[in-house]
Amino acid sequence: MWITGGGHAKWFFVLARTDPDPKAPAGKAFTAFVVDGDSKGVVRGKKEINMGQRCADTRAITFEDVVVPSENVLGAPGAGFKVAMGAFDTTRPGVAAGAVGLAWRALDEAAKYSLERKTFGVPIAAHQGVSFMLADIAVNLELSRLMTYKAAAEVDRGTRSSYYASIAKLFAADAANQAASNAVQVFGGNGFNTEYPVEKLMRDAKIYQIYEGTSQIQRVVIARELLQRVGQTGSASLYGFYEHLLSSGSFKPLIFLTGDSMKLILLVLLFLLVGVAHAGVTEWINKKIINPIKRPFVNNGKGRTRYQRRAHRAVHRVTG
């Protein structure tokens, strides 16, 4: 099996079948190990020449009668599959971050080139077809960046974040590939030449749709997590809001609530918050805006006359 960075790695995370029963379910058949790369029997194959990401020393790693001490077991024996799936919640945002960086570089290169290259006497950036491609890269770049931060924040909070990790990885990877493709298009024929940097970006981008689970696998995970949430709560967004409250330590007394009772309590709280906010804003508007304007007109006639005279003098001073 080819391993990215296999030529440099000092340690390997290994998922090995420890239950000899071929009918054993995956959730109980595998155990996770940390294996020292210098252990006897660890064999690194030749460096593979890949389409892109060539600085990553990719090699096949084989194990021949490798002895692993018991203290190198991650989690419980037989729980390796769960350990591996949980690790993706942490590693997929990292892949998304790499894709964001690539898209950022693609935008920088394409934008600079579009200002330097001229056709018909003007920079190609002035042509709508080119500017729209740059705009598309920029939009997807910023959305990818924000989603990556969201997934990373979920990891920092210690919450189970498969949903957000997969969304970030899927969107950022697809955005990076589109950004690289658009950058090559902006460069035109030069973009196809190795003297310019964007062809490398296009080659490097593809692996982000494969790393840590393909884009198709991410869609499977996203759909599964989404439907599970909706099935439990009736609303993915409400469940996410409730989950955030619990993970942040707020409203701990609500932790026992589930289903309709949870939604009812949160709905009441939401209406109360909106009501308080509305009352506060209304009072401020009345005090600071409406009353000062209205006051001169609600006084007696004498007051109105004084106000009108002052207004007339002010206008006269301004207009001369």
291-306 per-residue burial string, b: 16 or more CB within 10 A, e: under 16: eeeeeeeeeeeeeeee
Which sign, positive or negative, has the C-alpha torsion 244, 245, 247, 248? positive
Tokens of 51: 């389409």
Catalytic residue of the set 212, 225, 243, 283: 212
Quickly tell me which residue has 């995370």 as its tokens: 13
Distance, in Å, from the CA atom of 26 to the CA atom of 78, rounded to the nearest integer, reads 9
Distances (CA, A) of 254 to 154, 228, 247, 272, 275: 20, 21, 12, 16, 21
Angle between helices 80-116 and 162-187 (to 10 degrees): 30
The reply to whether 212 belongs to the active site is: yes
Query: What are the catalytic residues?
Result: 212
